[in-house]
Amino acid sequence: MKNIRNFCIIAHIDHGKSTLADRMLDITATVTEREKQDQLLDNMDLERERGITIKSHAIQMNHNYNGEAYKFNLIDTPGHVDFSYEVSRSIAACEGALLIVDATQGIQAQTISNLYLALEHDLEIIPILNKIDLPSSNPEEIGDQIIDLIGCTREDILLASAKTGEGVAEILDAIVERIPAPEGDPEAPLQALIFDSVFNSYRGIEAIFRVKNGVIKKGQRVKFMNTGKEYDADEIGTLKLVKDPQKQISAGDVGYIISGIKEAKEVKVGDTITSKESPATTAIAGFEEVKPMVYAGIYPVDTDEFEELRTSLEKLQLNDASLTFEAETSAALGFGFRCGFLGMLHMEIIQERLEREFNMTVITTVPNVSYYAYTKKDPDERLIVNNPSDYPDPAILERIEEPYIKAQVITKSEFVGAVMTLCIEKRGEIVGQTYLTSERVELTFDMPLAEIVFDFYDRLKTISKGYASFDYHPVGYRASNLVKVDILLNAEPVDALSALIHKSKAEDIGRKMCVKLKELIPRQQFLIAIQAAIGAKIISRETLSALRKDVTAKCYGGDISRKRKLLEKQKAGKKRMRQLGNVEVPQQAFLAVLKLN
Ligand code: GDP
Ligand code: MG
């Protein structure tokens, strides 16, 4: 145990986490030339394209220090707010963290909130200023930020370039010198913390764990304490670039277990593995069931593809347990699914995977958060509203509660005013303002999660000219005053366009939605009335005039193939159109409410 070091990397996106990890794998010769490939840790295509690490993985490397061999377990953490629970479990598996800050950029909100998580778990922090090869790097000033933030000295801060490799050897040595060896009792009953899982279509789910106490042995009967399920440890091993099967893994070390588990749902991040024969009395603290934060309807564009969509979602869920779904019907869209996501990024990822991996064309409806409703009939009974259609009739509604978050924005001091204005507009309440340096300010505020769903990121980016970073954590439910805004097309209500909106904004948003829909719905052969209503009261109306010209008319008598091409082009354009009554509505219209200005 004394020669093991377990650590993670805390960094903002693009600050160099993957590049540094690659360089460390190089220097420790974990990766042979043949295996070499940029950014090894990001191995899903989508992750690679987006340049973000969606799921955490772990990798082991060896490092010699003063003639002694050390074993490093680098635990990769997801880099986005949607996955903060997973980050907390990865951190709980480590004794130390490399805090990487881009020396040309400075500290961002996401970094700070993960840093706080690491400090809560008493991790030893090794601060690193990366990208010092760039002329625009400013290690002096950004070093000051780090000193203020974690209370270290200037000498504690390592300077590096993950790109050129400068300073990386020093980082490896610092890991040995500064990060404590794991503690734990190999003689005690087995307790291993699951911090990640990986889907393998041939072998089932691999759970990745850190042994806190005891020893896990191949072939042993194990029990997952929170789910209560039992398995045989068919294979256990350590994670090099390829899996390296072992007979046993002891306290302090990191490894994987394969035990014939078919569904990701059975492996819950944060669960504790113990032995069936002599179980531990308690599970490792900090386990939580991950709950979806955002819901949206997903409908096949082609109504015949409903069953295919179900199969695709089932397959996606096999390797992404945080995706939930259940069948629902919409008067407008027919049969589809109400899906639950960890956040907006997660929603985008699922939608993209459905299209790329399963070749589905889908319509996604306006996302909403999950509300609690209480009716006059039984004010103690909590109804969970995950779909505006399930919103109780206002006449019988006792009260409604919505989820709140604590949000953190870091920006330049010149943008503080604009950010505050945005937060207030978003029903936020400023609870803190801290100057990190004379130039950079951290603002904290409480605000409804629903406001994040509605174009918050884009607005924040615009008003700060890109110089603002953002992070949030859920802080429970609060009473609210919401109304349901319905949209009618030619007097027909379109349930898939309904949204729950705070009363103070409902009229304004209803009006803007009509304007936006007028922009998005193509003109058709007849006039279309677009109306917004609250209950029976129409609050706004726009009129889309009829189209006169027949688009094919101008090639009449002309080249027939040109005409066919035009028709095909039209058809392709229609791919994402849904017929609602007699009106054709494009996909973007269903998300119109997210794009209001
Ligand atoms: P991650 O999002 O934190 O994993 O960041 P990446 O490792 O993907 O790096 C983001 C970008 O910064 C990539 O284009 C890297 O090539 C570049 N980069 C990373 N480290 C350095 C460095 O030390 N110097 C320079 N000049 N570029 C770097
Ligand atoms: Mg990366």
Residues in contact with 285: Cβ distance below 8 Å, sequence separation at least 6, in sequence order: none
- Residue 42's pLDDT is 47
Please tell me the distance between residue 16's alpha carbon and the centre of ligand 1 in angstroms. Answer: 4
The CB of 17 under 6 Å from ligand 1? The reply is yes
Residue ranges and CATH numbers for the domains of the chain are: 4-178 (3.40.50.300), 191-275 (2.40.30.10), 294-365 (3.30.70.870), 371-480 (3.30.70.240), 484-594 (3.30.70.2570)
Residue 77 is labelled as binding a ligand: no
Q: CA 19 to CA 32: how far, in whole Å?
A: 16
15 close to ligand 1 (CB < 6 Angstrom): yes
- pLDDT tens track for 227-245: 999 999 999 999 887 788 9
Ligand 2 centre and the CA of 78: distance in Å? 9
CA of 11 to the centre of ligand 1 (A): 11
Q: Is the CB of 130 under 6 A from ligand 1?
A: yes
Q: What is the DSSP letter of 124?
A: E
Nearest residue CA, atom 17 of ligand 1? 16
Complex-level ipTM beyond the 0.95 threshold: yes
Nearest-angstrom CA–CA distance, 196 and 268: 8
What is the Cα–Cα distance from 578 to 563, expressed in whole angstroms? Answer: 24
- 131 close to ligand 1 (CB < 6 Angstrom): yes
Q: Give the C-alpha separation, 87 to 342, whole Å.
A: 13
Is residue 131 a known part of a binding site?
yes
Please give the number of the atom of ligand 1 that sits closest to the Cα of 19. Answer: 7
Q: Please tell me the predicted confidence (pLDDT) of residue 56.
A: 39
Q: Is 253 annotated as a binding residue?
A: no
Q: Look at residue 211 in the predicted model and tell me its pLDDT.
A: 98
Does the beta carbon of 134 sit less than 6 angstroms from any atom of ligand 1?
A: yes
Q: Are 236 and 217 in contact (CB under 8 A)?
A: yes
Quote the pLDDT of residue 48. Answer: 46
Mutate to test the pocket of ligand 1, among 10, 12, 13, 14 (most ligand atoms within 8 A of CB): 14
3-state secondary structure 127-191: EEEECCCCCCCCHHHHHHHHHHHHCCCHHHCEECCCCCCCCHHHHHHHHHHHCCCCCCCCCCCCE
CA 162 to ligand 1: nearest atom: 23
Q: pLDDT means per 10 residues in the chain (597 residues)? A: 94 89 84 52 47 56 94 83 81 96 89 85 96 95 90 95 96 97 96 89 88 97 95 93 90 95 87 96 90 91 91 87 91 91 87 89 89 92 92 91 93 93 93 87 94 83 84 90 93 90 92 92 90 94 82 52 61 64 82 73
**Which residues place a Cβ less than 5 A from the ion ligand 2?**
18, 53
Q: What is the pLDDT of residue 265?
A: 82
pLDDT of residue 6: 98
DSSP result, 227-289: T--EEE--EEEEESSSEEEESEEETT-EEEEE-----GGGS-TT-EEEESSS--SSPPTT---
How many residues in total does the chain contain? 597
Q: Whose Cα sits closest to atom 2 in ligand 1?
A: 14
Task: Say yes or no: CB of residue 80 within 6 Å of ligand 1.
Answer: no
228 is in an annotated binding site: no
Going 421 to 423 to 425 to 428, the CA torsion angle's sign is: negative
The CA dihedral of 354, 358, 363, 367, to the nearest 10 degrees, is -20
